[in-house]
Structure 1
Amino acid sequence: MYREGASEPQSLDIVVTRHDVFDEAAFRSTGVLELYEELFPASERDSPDDIVRWLLSDDVGERRRFSVGGHEMSYRLDSRCFILRAGAGRAVGLGFFTYDHASDLIFCNHVGIAKAWRGGGLARAFYREMVAMLDALFPNNIGVVLEVEPFDRDRVAAIIADLERTGRRQLATDERDEIRRLLRASWYHKLEYSVFCDARTMRPLACSSPCLDPTPPSSGWANGEENYWLMWRARASAPAAELRAGQLWHKAATAIYVEILAKSLVAADPNGRRDYWDYATALVAGTLQRTATTDVRLARCLDDDASALLSRWRRLAIDLPI
């Protein structure tokens, strides 16, 4: 069990790649990839083979160099998977994080707990324990950035109002998805994350993620794009951040979608994926150009109106795991 930097024994059984789990066979034997498939839809999942490669051979804190169209490029990442174990050592929780040495940002790729193990504050305790471990592993990090799916507050309000009016307990698939987006945002809200907003409207800024799979024909890449809000939590023990919110927004989007996503995927096949590099970097550049003159602010994800919707949802007492 990982114990670096801990002042007393930990109550959670957490193992970490390249600290406790060193090879592919040991990693796969934990059942974490099956849990990953269970928790996340196909559109949000990376290839299991890519995950193994990133965690155990590519993203190990060493600078990697490659060339695209005659242009030399490099990146330096350190990816770790935290595995929460129970029973016979099988995975019941996972956290996949990547530290980008260029920006000193940690990107939270995925966090999840098996449905049977949710409740009792386990998910929050697991997350806080992982962040403490990350601070020990990467003492220069300035904080964690992550993506959340946007929720449409008007749509959420309409769904809740209909449930209140009719008394029905069953939700359609699209209704469940919309409510889950609110619930996921509320979870990070409780963990004191902030969201990047337009100061004029105080609405979150949308960021387009490139298609995660570069192998299909380029004509299909746009269909694999997703829009997200970016959320940020500064490291508690880090010096006061000198970056303004707008600078941090630019830095976060570049770290996630260029340094971590695009470079990792293109480095695996620089010659065959030059078109993907051009596509992904152009998409990120478009996002940053659209927000270049925006007064960016960091704000709590749930304002009073969203918090009121969350309270109304909870009063319905409908069980909907996120």
Structure 2
Amino acid sequence: MRVLDGMYREAAGEPQPLDIVVTRHDVLDEAAFRSTGVLELYEELFPASERDSADDIVRWLLSDDVGERRHFSVGGHEMSYRLDSRCFILRAGATRAVGLGFFTYDHASELIFCNHVGVATAWRGGGLARAFYREMVAMLDALFPRNIGVVLEVEPFDRDRLEAMIADLERTGRRQLAADEQDGIRRLLRVGWYDKLDYSVFCDARTMRPLACRSPCLDPSLPSADWAGGEESYWLMWQARTGAPSVEIRAGRLWHSAVRAIHVEILAKSLVALDPNGRRGYWDYATALVGQTLQRTATTDVHLAPCLGEDDRVLLSRWRRLAIDLPI
């Protein structure tokens, strides 16, 4: 358990200290994990389309991804992977979950993948989310001293579309946003949050536009004809471990490693290992999709750049001046 020094919140007239507990260190079994209320918070913070099942999360955290090498065979080819997943739970008054962070360390690439991070709406503000995040990263560095940094996926935003939407809001004074408009703004706000945490985004050095990475369908039980419909495009972001040497000169190699770590080592192998014989087709599909991404960017001069460009920062400032309440 780690206490967030100086972090207290008033509740029922009394200050509540905040602390962080982590699975397989402070939270040792399924009953203890579920009793924290973190799964209910997870459902509150993320829409169903972005959530994994509670049972899968419990399995990954407490039995499957526990730092041990797992072996399986697909089509006569022996394979293995070694992951360690942890959930960090921010608690108020040592009882109620008000924040969560779900990370997976891939021993092969020495990369940490950030699956989900969130803080309950009523507990945001005052820099709490950033303080929570930085404490988690410090704890991850202690748990995995060989890690070289953190990678994560973010949904791309369409700058031109947001420009037109914000201009309309400025012109008309309209304050109600349609669902698709809210989604677009939230994408910008999320990128802005990681920008404040000093993340970088993988870009094409020629255009300085973020590189798109196609994620395989997350449900191999669907008919194979439906897998393409379950794919998503993401931008990949990177934060080097504090004190680690600059990786700018090898950004292309890091991009290759990050794509494979996220979509082969962590995603595809975890899903296929549950049913190697029944999911051979999914393995071929997922690895081919990853191969297409890497082939498409094989000759690209990959560059690491700030998450937001100058035009993006101006757009974000214009949105904030509208003072429309829209939580990330």
Task: Please say whether Structure 1 and Structure 2 have the same fold, judged by a TM-score greater than 0.5.
Answer: yes
Of the candidates 217, 236, 244, which is equivalent to residue 242 of structure 2?
Answer: 236
1:177 is displaced (CA, Å) by: 0.3
Q: Which amino acid aligns with 1:292?
A: A
The residue aligned with 1:317 is 323
What is the identity, as a one-letter code, of the residue corresponding to 1:246? G
The aligned counterpart of 1:188 is 194
> For 2:84 and 2:304, how far apart are their aligned partners in 1?
27
The correspondence of residues 34-183 of structure 1 with structure 2, limited to 5 A, is 34-87=40-93, 89-183=95-189
Q: Compute the TM-score of the two structures, normalised by the length of structure 1.
A: 0.96
Change (3 A) 1:88 1:241: closer
CA contact (8 A) 2:157 2:187 kept: yes
Give a deviation string over 1:147-173, Cα, whole Å, max 9, x none: 010000001101100000000111010
Structure 1 counterpart of 2:200, one-letter code: S
Q: CA deviation at 1:239?
A: 3.7
Q: What is residue 251 of structure 1 aligned with on the other side?
A: 257
One-letter amino acid matched to 1:225: E
* Matching residue of 1:31: 37
CA distance in structure 2 between the aligned counterparts of 1:290 and 1:34, rounded to whole angstroms: 40
Q: CA RMSD in A?
A: 1.6
For structure 2, which runs of at least 5 residues remain unmatched after alignment? Answer: 8-16
- The 8 Å contact of residues 12 and 126 in structure 1, kept in 2 or not, is answered as no
2:89 maps to a residue whose letter is I
Identity %: 83
Measure, in 1, the Cα distance between the counterparts of 2:18 and 2:110: 27
Aligned residue identity for 2:208: M
5 Å-filtered alignment, 1:211-222, equals: 211-222=217-228
Give the C-alpha shift of residue 2 in structure 1.
Answer: 4.0
Distance of aligned partners of 1:242 and 1:140 in 2 relative to their CA distance in 1, 3 Å threshold: farther
Q: TM-score, normalised by structure 2?
A: 0.94
Q: Which has the higher strand share?
A: 2
Q: Which runs of 4+ in 1 moved over 3 A?
A: 8-12, 239-243
Gap change, CA 1:175 and 1:315, over 3 Å in 2: same
What number of residue pairs does the alignment pair up? 319
Give 1:213 shift: 1.4
Alignment correspondent of 2:208: 202
Amino acid at match of 1:118: R
> Structure 1 stretches of 5 or more lacking a match?
none
Deviates more, 1:241-250 or 1:277-286: 241-250
C-alpha separation between the residues in 2 aligned to 1:39 and 1:304? 30
- State how far apart, in whole Å, the 1-side matches of 2:151 and 2:61 are: 19
Pairwise CA distance, 1:12:
3.5
Aligned-partner Cα distance in 1 for 2:86–2:116 = 11
Distance apart, 1:47 and its partner CA: 1.8
- Aligned residue for 2:227, secondary structure, equals helix
**Greater Cα offset, 11-20 or 193-202:** 11-20
Output one character per residue of 1:84-115: Cα deviation in whole Å (capped at 9) or x when no partner.
Answer: 11146121111000000000000000001111
1:29-69 CA-to-partner distances (Å, cap 9, x unmatched) read 11111111111122221121111111000111110100111
Equivalent residue in structure 1 for 2:25, among 19, 22, 26: 19
Amino acid at match of 1:83: I
CA distance, structure 2, for counterparts of residue 257 and residue 12 of structure 1: 34
Tell me the residue number matched to 2:272.
266
* SS state at 1:111 partner: strand
Separation in 1 of the partners of 2:109 and 2:130? 26
